[in-house]
Amino acid sequence: MMIKVKIFPGIRKEGVMERSKGVFEVKVKEKAEQGKANKRLIELLSKHFQISENQVKIISGSKRRNKMVSIKI
């Protein structure tokens, strides 16, 4: 399954919100430095979908706020 994600790095309260079918907003505490926010994004999405982290992969947008993410369920 492919989803669109808009990430908000450096936010105090973390969370995953589905805005519409297949479109998510994810807030992470980590700043967008050295892939830290992307790593936390993968952790939060894996918890949200109740899957392991290796089933979540950023397909495009690794250096942008808007990303395409593959979820293997």
Host domain of residue 11: 2-71
**Domain containing residue 67: CATH number:** 3.30.1200.10
Domain count, the chain: 1
pLDDT at 32: 93
Q: How far apart are CA 57 and CA 37, in angstroms?
A: 14
Longest Cα separation, the chain: 30
pLDDT at 68: 99
pLDDT at 48: 97
H helix or E strand, kind and range, residue 46: helix 36-49
Q: How far apart are CA 28 and CA 40, in angstroms?
A: 7
Rounded to an integer, the average pLDDT of 11-21 is: 97
pLDDT at 51: 98
CB 17 within 8 A of CB 25: yes
pLDDT at 73: 86
pLDDT at 12: 95
